[in-house]
Amino acid sequence: MAETKSVELLTGNEAVSEAVLRARPDVIAVYPITPSTHIAEMLAQAVEAGKIDAEFVKVESEHSAMATCMGVVAAGGRTFTATAAQGLMYMAENVFWAGYGRLPMVAAVVNRALAPGWSIWVDHQDTMAMRDSGWGQIYAKNNQEAFDSVLQAYKIAENHDVYFPFMVTLDGFVLSHTASEVELLTQEEVDEFLPPFEPMFKLHPSNPMSYGAISLPDEYIALREDLMKSMERAKKVIQDVNDEFAKKFGRDWGGLIEVTGEEDAEVGIVTMSTIAEESEVAAEMLTKEGIPTSVTRVRVFRPFPKEVLVEQLKKYDKIVIIDRSMSFGHAGPLYLETSSAMRELGAIDTKIYPTVMGLGGQDVSYKDIIQRVKSLIKS
């Protein structure tokens, strides 16, 4: 008889931890930082209790945590880490090493505003600072998606047509410390969905090789072009993994983007993470008020899903793009990437209204979004 799925009331951090346990990593290396600390605590307790056959490495910093994970993957093992904000910044040198070095691993980043001013609350400045590091980025909108996305991220990252690391992000406190119902998959189901890691290469004394050595300009350029090609291939893999997951387990997160709301909308709201869920409520109310509105959530920011995104956005007369971070000196990153993609692919007639909300943890409710959309499209 098949094992019954369980539904539990879990915080986002707990949901991530439960997914990691089922992914069977060989080594976990995490340095605690608010609001991701509970992930480290739960995984350390699970290892100590023998719930998972893994090594938990007590590192002295986030930089060391990523260095440990890099060594594990280079040696052919599956690994995991988690961090947030200043911790991600301290880890940054090795984040780029892991991305450019094509080391397929998964990290959970609990989004938190960067200092100064000192903040422990959410915005997306931390992960947006890493958008050119060679990592894939999946932005979860709720705790269930955080659980599911960790498992999907391992399968995507370890695919030999992809083979670069992924970070799964969740909004600090809004998800990380807020409990909601999460349907957990059994270990047997996860094992069927996520096979053991099969490395394309691994360092071993019996088969010496160099890794990360000095590269002459032509070689260096070839490496970067290869990473870019892998990013492009990853789009199909991401969609295929999402579709396989949906078929097996009945939960479909859209793959690269997720569209909800009025099918024949005049106004499209484009955003990410938890603001997207608030936007869904806002869209329903705007539609009832005679402003047909739809929401396009960019689930995967890297690789940027420009083709499917632009194909969707061409349907609208007006687009409101809500960022939760800034590219200082210009505008929000989501707006910059989306408007660039639309011009590149010939969708230049749609009116775009960029806006930034929720920096430093400022609450963004559906009422705030309704007010902002109305003021922008009437301006």
Give the pLDDT confidence of 71-102 residue by residue, as tens digits: 999 999 999 999 999 999 999 999 999 999 99
pLDDT tens-digit series, residues 261-293: 998 999 999 999 999 999 999 999 999 999 999
pLDDT of residue 55 exceeding 60, the answer is yes
Q: What does the block give as tokens for 8? A: 């539990």
Residue ranges of the chain that CATH labels 3.40.50.920: 257-377
Q: If one looks up domain 257-377 in CATH, what number appears?
A: 3.40.50.920
> Is residue 169 within a helix (H) or strand (E), and if so which, with residue range?
strand 166-171
Residue ranges of the chain that CATH labels 3.40.50.970: 6-249
pLDDT tens-digit series, residues 299-332: 999 999 999 999 999 999 999 999 999 999 999 9
Strands 6-11 and 257-261: unpaired
Full-model pTM? 0.97
Cα 79 from Cα 227, distance rounded (Å): 21
Provide CB contacts within 8 A for 88, sequence distance 6+: 62, 95, 109, 126, 127, 129, 130
For the 6-249 domain, the top CATH level (class) is alpha beta
Residues 345-365 have a mean pLDDT of 95
pLDDT of residue 211: 85
pLDDT tens-digit series, residues 209-218: 888 889 999 9
pLDDT of residue 212: 87
Cα 116 from Cα 8, distance rounded (Å): 37
DSSP string, 98-164: HHHTT---EEEEEE-PPSSSP--S--SHHHHTTTTSS-EEEE-SSHHHHHHHHHHHHHHHTSTTT-S
Q: What does the block give as tokens for 378? A: 């009437």
